[in-house]
């Protein structure tokens, strides 16, 4: 994105234990003394409205218990019986709320679905909430949409449906598993607590100690491929962004399974782990900041450092595409009023000035980087005070009162993220378009396309283990492959690792689209050029500065595996198991990408796949989540 970026962070230290670890442990223990106060603070509870009435309960747990007792419907038991995943549960909750809001009773439909599941199995049950329309929240900031039902299933015994839970006294293996799960949950919560409470100089050792298995000391797991964050949130270190809001902050994500330099974006932390039970943070007014505000604060702050700006400026395909579009199309830029959304270091604003723009406004939400953009513009004599056309404004598109112009002729922004849509900065670009762009004005780039293709083990970097100094280490590759589903891997994929032809999954016209056009479900068929195994689906994007606006010199920026490498690389979605394809065979995929209704700036991705022409029930499915740090 425009060169605003996030702090690249650093690798975890391998200092062993000693005083730092002891200090970290002491600080964490002291912080734990306040845990009950934080956990019981009524301002921290997520007041939750009943699914069936106007009753408001103090927490999601209380709401679920109330609905089970008062209305005879327990979401936890129901989702277990029908084997609903996260997306299915979100659809279910919004279906119930929409029916109740319309004055209809949802219970008959729910009872019928439960009966069909009991008679025919969960896969054979009709689900009236199956439409993707029910991914849109009915109730803004509905705590149930971010609730960790999976964790509760383990805690309460819902995983096997009604009556599935067994007591520890009658199921020793189950009790051991439950204790192990509880232990893991406690470690995760302790890590989250340490992250919130400890200073940076103590945090790495504390997290290393919290992550270590029994018998391991702090730092025992340090090394290539390890991550000290354990957060499951994405880092902006390589993320693209247009400062005004693109890449997320925080420590870098762990490296990809092959250890070859990609980034792994793990499945998200949800509900209780990162939602209600965390230390309250304050906004600028001294009041508790909302989760969305905290994420935005971390997001924009991540662009206040220079590492990511250097990375993006050094991305020649990206930077030169914008330069050519702005400097080589005088019929569009000469004499125009230009708005640069997420201006970062100011590079696009200065390109527009050299292209002959009459006025250029660079807008960025990071106060620090906007200040450096002003200095950069002034250092090149392009600021208003020097007689140039460029001015820099600090603020968010949605909040800034005035940019010095009622309308602009051109909006330019480098908003794209991993897999195109991660970071959801496009919302701000479209808001700027609707607020300031004159009728018929241009948005640059004006077309963006999500592309997909099937990939081999090499696309995931697993081929590394096939021949290590003449030795096969396939067992390690098999272990990494087994752990990969649900984790988006961002890495450079060689074109030779693609095993199918590419297909277009989604195309957006930025000059005309509605914000909802970012969320999509696409059916694509990937045809194998030759026999082989498909281990993953590779996702990338193309951005076009088309001849509609760039008449003299249209420009196409591609992040495809066979194009010049960019800092976006490609996003790899691992399959549950490799799929064997004969030459000419076709793999049918249903890819969905949607802004998360539960987690601000997060992108939910789901992939269903199977042999083209096969029964829908025979398809495999896997879900992913890409999210910005700051919670």
Catalytic residues: 414, 423
Cα Dmax for the chain:
82
DSSP string, 23-82: HHHHHHHHHHTTHHHHHH-TTTS--EE-SSSS-EESSHHHHHHHHHHHHS--HHHHHHHT
Residue 422 contacts residue 263 (beta carbons within 8 Å): no
Q: How many CB atoms lie within 10 A of CB 219?
A: 23
User: From residue 207, how far is each of 189, 236, 487, 610 by CA, in Å?
Assistant: 11, 20, 21, 40
Residue found by looking up tokens 């000059």 in the block: 511
Work out the burial of residue 44: count CB atoms within 10 Å of its CB; fewer than 13 is exposed, 13-18 middle, 19 or more buried: middle
DSSP state of 464: G
Closest by CA position to 517, among listed 383, 424, 601, 440: 424
SS3 letters across 371-427 = HHHHHHHHHCCCEHHHCCCEEEEECCCCCCCCCCCCCEEEEEECCCECCECCCCCHH
Measured between its terminal Cα atoms, the distance across the chain in Å is: 22
Give residue 514's Cα distance to chain centre.
20
- Rounded CA-CA distance 65/76 in Å is 10
- Rounded CA-CA distance 595/570 in Å is 19
User: From residue 199, how far is each of 22, 23, 194, 202, 280 by CA, in Å?
Assistant: 14, 11, 9, 6, 16
Residue 427 contacts residue 365 (beta carbons within 8 Å): no
DSSP state of 162: T
Establish whether the linkage from the previous residue to 445 is cis, with ω within 30° of 0.
yes
All residues at 6 or more sequence positions from 607 whose CB lies less than 8 Å from its CB, including other chains: 537, 573, 575, 589, 590, 591, 592, 621, 622, 623, 624
Closest by CA position to 461, among listed 448, 476, 445: 476
179 sits in the region (left: phi over 0; alpha: psi -120 to 50; else beta) called alpha
Work out the burial of residue 521: count CB atoms within 10 Å of its CB; fewer than 13 is exposed, 13-18 middle, 19 or more buried: middle
Work out the burial of residue 331: count CB atoms within 10 Å of its CB; fewer than 13 is exposed, 13-18 middle, 19 or more buried: exposed
Angle, alpha carbons 358-364-238 (nearest 5°): 120
């Amino acid at each position: 994105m425009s060169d605003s970026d996030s702090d690249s962070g650093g690798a975890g230290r391998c200092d062993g234990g000693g005083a730092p670890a002891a200090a970290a442990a002491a600080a964490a223990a002291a912080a734990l003394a306040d845990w009950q106060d934080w956990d019981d603070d009524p301002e921290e509870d997520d007041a939750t409205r009943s699914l069936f009435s106007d009753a408001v309960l103090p927490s999601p747990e209380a709401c679920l218990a109330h609905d089970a007792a008062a209305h005879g419907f327990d979401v936890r038991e129901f989702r277990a019986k029908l084997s609903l995943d996260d997306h299915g549960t979100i659809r279910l909750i919004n279906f119930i709320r929409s029916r109740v809001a319309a004055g209809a009773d949802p219970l008959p439909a729910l009872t019928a679905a439960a009966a069909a599941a009991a008679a025919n199995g969960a896969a054979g049950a009709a689900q009236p909430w199956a439409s993707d329309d029910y991914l849109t929240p009915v109730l803004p900031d509905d705590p149930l949409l971010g609730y960790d039902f999976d964790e509760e299933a383990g805690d309460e015994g819902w995983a096997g449906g009604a009556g599935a839970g067994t007591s520890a006294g009658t199921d020793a293996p189950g009790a051991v598993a439950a204790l192990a799960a509880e232990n893991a949950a406690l470690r995760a919560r302790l890590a989250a607590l340490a992250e919130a409470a400890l200073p940076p100089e103590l945090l790495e050792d504390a997290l290393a100690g919290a992550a270590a298995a029994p018998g391991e000391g702090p730092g025992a797991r340090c090394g290539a491929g390890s991550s000290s964050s354990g957060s499951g949130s994405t880092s902006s270190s390589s993320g693209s962004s247009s400062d005004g809001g693109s890449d997320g902050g925080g420590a870098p994500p762990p490296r990809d399974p092959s250890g070859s330099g990609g980034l792994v974006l793990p499945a998200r932390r949800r509900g209780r782990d990162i939602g209600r039970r965390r230390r309250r943070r304050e906004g600028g007014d001294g009041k508790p900041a909302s989760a969305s505000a905290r994420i935005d604060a971390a997001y924009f702050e991540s662009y206040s450092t220079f590492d990511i700006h250097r990375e993006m400026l050094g991305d020649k395909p990206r930077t030169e595409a914008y330069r050519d579009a702005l400097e080589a199309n005088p019929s569009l830029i000469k004499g125009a009023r230009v708005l640069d959304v997420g201006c970062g270091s100011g590079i696009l604003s200065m390109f527009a000035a050299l292209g002959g723009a009459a006025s250029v406004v660079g807008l960025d939400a990071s106060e620090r980087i906007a200040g450096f953009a002003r200095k950069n513009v002034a250092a090149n004599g392009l600021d208003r005070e020097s007689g140039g056309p460029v001015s820099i404004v600090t603020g968010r598109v949605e909040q800034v009162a005035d940019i010095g112009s009622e309308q602009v002729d051109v909006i330019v922004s480098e908003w794209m993220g991993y897999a195109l849509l991660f970071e959801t900065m496009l919302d701000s670009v479209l808001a700027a378009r609707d607020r300031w762009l004159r009728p018929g004005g241009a948005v640059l780039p004006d077309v963006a396309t999500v592309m997909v293709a099937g990939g081999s083990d090499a696309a995931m970097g697993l081929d590394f283990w096939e021949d290590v100094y003449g030795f096969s280490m396939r067992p390690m590759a098999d272990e990494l492959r087994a752990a990969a589903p649900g984790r988006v891997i961002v890495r450079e994929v060689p074109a030779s690792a693609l095993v199918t032809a590419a297909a277009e999954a989604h195309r957006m016209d930025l000059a005309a689209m509605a914000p909802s056009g970012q969320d999509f479900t696409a059916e694509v068929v990937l045809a194998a050029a030759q026999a082989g195994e498909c281990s993953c689906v590779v996702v990338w994007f193309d951005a076009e500065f088309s001849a509609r606006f760039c008449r003299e010199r249209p420009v196409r920026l591609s992040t495809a595996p066979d194009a010049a490498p960019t800092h976006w690389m490609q996003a790899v979605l691992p399959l549950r198991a490799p799929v064997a394809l004969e030459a000419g065979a076709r793999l049918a995929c249903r890819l969905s990408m949607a802004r998360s209704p539960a987690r601000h700036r997060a992108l939910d991705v789901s992939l269903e796949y199977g042999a083209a022409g096969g029964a829908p029930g025979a398809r495999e499915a896997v879900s992913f989540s890409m999210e910005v740090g700051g919670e």
